[in-house]
Amino acid sequence: MKTKMLSRLLCCKSLLILVIFLSSHGTTSSKSYRRNHSKTIRHMNIEEEQAKFSDFPFRNTNLPWDERVDDLVSRLTLEEIQVQMSRGGVGEFGGPAPAIPRLGIGSYQWATECLRGDASSIENATGFPQAIGLAATFSPDILYNVARATGQEVRAKHNDFVKRGIFRSHTGASCFSPVINILRDPRWGRNQETYGEDPYLTGNLAKKFVTGIQGEDSRFIMTSAGCKHFDVHGGPEDIPVSRVSFDAIVSDTDWRMTFLPAFKKCVEAGTYSVMCSYNSVNGVPACANKKLLTDILRTEWNFKGYVVSDQAAIENVISKHKYCNNSVDAVAACVNAGTNLELSTNLPTPVYMSIVDAIQQGKLSEDLVRERVKPLFYTRMRLGEFDPVNDNPYAQLSMDLIESAEHQQVAVTAAMKSFVLLKNHGDILPLKKGEFSKVAIIGPMSDDTEQLSGDYQPFQDKSFFTTPLDTVKTLYPNAKYGHACNDSTPCTQYNKAAVPAIVKDAELVFVTLGTGRAVEREAHDRPDVELAGHQKELLLDVLDNSGDAKIILLLFSASPLNITFADQSDRVVAIMECFFPAQSTGKALYNVLTNTGPYSSPAGRLPNTWPLYSTQIPPMVNYSMEGRTYRYFRGDPLYPFGYGLSYTQFNFSNLMYNTTIKAGASLGVQVDITNVGDVDGEEVLQCYISWNDKSLPVPQLQLAYFDRILIASKQTISRSLSISSESMAFWQDGKWVIKAGGMSLFCGGQQPNQKKQVPSNVLSGTFTITDSITLKK
């Protein structure tokens, strides 16, 4: 009898484990998942239970948010708080934060990736261009539209998951996005997730992303944004040392003027969370860094949200940084510093499960711990979890938004606007109908949907995906196509003999080269900026075996590539940097290559400097900004920041502004822009400032305004703009100051005085700041 009972218990236990496993490890296919997992076990049916707890003040919608949060947290035991602050991660043990049935509080999953679509989630979503491509649009409106569409799909799926009782990884409504680290080194593996090298550009794009993904309802948020990785973070991943133990030694000037500004803009935009990074900053792990998380983030910037650790960053305080040698000291250091939520590596007992022990040992105070958990529940309240569903417009978002026609068009437009035309010898582009009859396409990026997507891509219905091969076959149905790199972008398995048969007798050859996740990604730096494997040899072999055919080089990468030889070759008549356009690659390329439809004249601009020589790049581990980015780089790059060609030409005229302003005042500017060409197109107005006193601790040049403007052929528009006083401030002796003296202003379609120029002029002048002031920033 005992044997049979034991057998039954073991059987039941095995069945329970199987059910839990299935609920945590489903298929990634949307249709198959919904078909096979419609009865996933529920943590709690919150809709049915809410009525039982309606008398609790935290459910009283007439009370202020803070009072509701205070009431909720006052009802939690320390043990419950400990668990809530420990379960911010993925996997069976990493999350979700468990339900608290006695208060009618359901489970909540914190870990969701929303970089440019609902990434890593079960079930499909629209795939928008990777972040670095979105930055190349120089268009805050594009960032807003992509973020809004992403937020709608994330929230719609979250609503559906909650109804079905699914709280697995990446099913929540709290986003670990955007990534606003500065692209400080072209070899960093995560450059693709950033908005480029400029703090001003990054900050302004981040603000629009946060607004778009959180929504603009006065009471509720659609999803909660989370800006990462805070801070002084931008490589290395694994070359020459690991990110999880790296100590970024940074000067106060570089910290304040390069690494922090975009995060401040994110806070000003109302982000609900910030993610602390893996590395240490000047000897203190970022997630245990009080100066970073409390003194700057909360005290100076008045941030009221929560800080979540990067995955395993809390564990690394002990195991990698050796900053603490036990979990009690580590949790005390991180909670005291300001980290609210642990994102563990699916640990059954995360470090934050030592919170109660730390309190009992006097290393943490109960009052502080209760304060640290409040932003978590405040976020959940603003998402609408404790209000009637019918009151919340975002609770009504439904699954018909997923991969909708509207979102597909947003993806196409964003991809078109991201392309940067680097070369167009003889105006070969746009392609003219009937100009070529013998065409070929070759290269590892021709038809590889995985590499064209980049990292952190959503799962997708591949019927929406179009590739460069689709573009060429649509334009030239008889075009030849073949493989030469048999292992895609690494191109270590190169079939040299295959090239002649593909390109022989061709009049036009498209060569598609690049990187993709196989070459650059999270946890994987590039050793240099060269084309991977035999890709350079492939292009040279195409040149050698295609007679006098014209070559169009299409690049798909996040970071600069050494293509100096191609830029200098008369046979390579056009070069276009396409980044990672994702599912709309083919459609967007067709429109831009043929100048078909609105926004089809390329107007993307490089959000980062492309070096001419590898010797121009400082060591990865050197965190001084000297020699990095256009702001501190001395020399001539291959392609400068802000560079990009068009199918038309623009002329700037009538630059007007006040030549004298008081310190702390903005500078009003007006300028006329004329499209002097025959094609309707967009120009990116770029205004830079510089300090005439070269002894000041300032960049040599600073972007202070940008705007992407559609101008019809032969039309002139007048643009009024403002250069903020904040742009004129710099960090000196522990404070932000604006100094009396002379400054220079440059407005046009590119940087001033660059060697590689576009056919667009730059107007310049000087103005004087009177007085000197200290700013509160």
Structure tokens at 247: 């100590």
Element (H, E) at 573: strand 572-577
607 prior amide bond cis, ω within 30:
no
More confident position, 208 or 776: 208
658 three-class SS = coil
Q: Give the pLDDT of residue 635.
A: 92
Averaged pLDDT for residues 22-42: 32
Q: Distance (Å, rounded) from C-alpha 35 to C-alpha 30? A: 9
Q: Is the pLDDT of residue 777 over 70?
A: no
Q: Is the pLDDT of residue 273 over 80?
A: yes
Q: Which whole-number Å values give the CA distances from 486 to 165, 305, 465, 535, 585, in the listed order?
A: 44, 48, 22, 11, 22
Averaged pLDDT for residues 170-198: 98
Averaged pLDDT for residues 525-552: 98
Least Cα distance to 646 among 426, 413, 414, 429 occurs for: 429
Are residues 521 and 477 in contact, defined by beta-carbon separation less than 8 angstroms? no
Which pLDDT band, with edges at 50, 70 and 90, does 53 fall under?
confident
Q: Is the pLDDT of residue 41 over 90?
A: no
Q: Distance (Å, rounded) from C-alpha 233 to C-alpha 250? A: 10
pTM here is: 0.93
Q: Is the pLDDT of residue 34 over 90?
A: no
According to DSSP, residue 529 is labeled S
Q: Distance (Å, rounded) from C-alpha 656 to C-alpha 777? A: 29
Between the two ends of the chain, the Cα-to-Cα distance in Å is 75
Averaged pLDDT for residues 357-365: 98
Q: Give the pLDDT of residue 24.
A: 36
Q: Which residues make Cβ contacts (< 8 Å) with residue 618, sequence separation at least 6?
A: 185, 624, 626, 627, 628
Q: Which whole-number Å values give the CA distances from 414 to 74, 113, 132, 182, 440, in the listed order?
A: 46, 19, 12, 22, 27
Q: Give the pLDDT of residue 460.
A: 86
Which strands sit side by side in the sheet containing 650-657, from one edge to the other?
650-657, 667-675, 716-723
Q: Give the pLDDT of residue 50.
A: 61
Are residues 413 and 142 in contact, defined by beta-carbon separation less than 8 angstroms? yes
At 275-319, the pLDDT tens digits run 999 999 999 999 999 999 999 999 999 999 999 999 999 999 999
Q: Is the pLDDT of residue 686 over 60?
A: yes
Q: Give the pLDDT of residue 126.
A: 97
Q: Distance (Å, rounded) from C-alpha 152 to C-alpha 491? A: 38
Instruction: Give residue 609's Cα distance to chain centre.
Output: 18
Averaged pLDDT for residues 56-82: 98
Tell me what the pLDDT averaged over the chain comes to: 93
Q: Is the pLDDT of residue 550 over 90?
A: yes
Q: Give the pLDDT of residue 236.
A: 98
Which strands sit side by side in the sheet containing 247-248, from one edge to the other?
247-248, 280-281, 284-285
At 666-684, the pLDDT tens digits run 999 999 999 999 999 999 9
Least Cα distance to 535 among 552, 507, 555, 550 occurs for: 555
Q: Is the pLDDT of residue 632 over 60?
A: yes
Q: Give the pLDDT of residue 122.
A: 83
Q: Give the pLDDT of residue 4.
A: 36
Instruction: Give residue 7's Cα distance to chain centre.
Output: 52
Give 306's strand partners.
Answer: 273
Percent of the chain with pLDDT over 70: 93
At 401-456, the pLDDT tens digits run 999 999 999 999 999 999 999 999 999 999 998 999 999 999 999 999 999 999 99
* Phi, psi values for residue 189, rounded to 5°: -70, -20
Structure tokens at 507: 């009049």
Q: Distance (Å, rounded) from C-alpha 629 to C-alpha 486? A: 35
At 494-516, the pLDDT tens digits run 999 999 999 999 999 999 999 99
Which pLDDT band, with edges at 50, 70 and 90, does 121 fall under?
confident
Q: Give the pLDDT of residue 623.
A: 98
Q: Is the pLDDT of residue 394 over 80?
A: yes
Q: Is the pLDDT of residue 8 over 60?
A: no
Q: Give the pLDDT of residue 10.
A: 37
Q: Which residues make Cβ contacts (< 8 Å) with residue 51, sequence separation at least 6?
A: none
Are residues 772 and 658 in contact, defined by beta-carbon separation less than 8 angstroms? no
- The amino acid present at 473, given as its one-letter code, is K
Instruction: Give residue 654's Cα distance to chain centre.
Output: 37
Q: Which whole-number Å values give the CA distances from 357 to 41, 351, 364, in the listed order?
A: 33, 11, 9
Averaged pLDDT for residues 240-256: 98
Q: Distance (Å, rounded) from C-alpha 144 to C-alpha 365? A: 41
* Lowest-confidence segment of 88-97, 191-200, 362-371, 743-752 by average pLDDT: 88-97
Q: Distance (Å, rounded) from C-alpha 506 to C-alpha 479? A: 9
Q: Give the pLDDT of residue 141.
A: 98
Structure tokens at 293: 């998380």
At 461-498, the pLDDT tens digits run 889 999 999 999 999 999 999 999 999 999 999 999 99
Are residues 225 and 215 in contact, defined by beta-carbon separation less than 8 angstroms? no
Q: Is the pLDDT of residue 18 over 80?
A: no
Averaged pLDDT for residues 176-185: 98
Q: Which residues make Cβ contacts (< 8 Å) with residue 367, sequence separation at least 6?
A: none
Q: Is the pLDDT of residue 185 over 80?
A: yes
439 three-class SS = strand
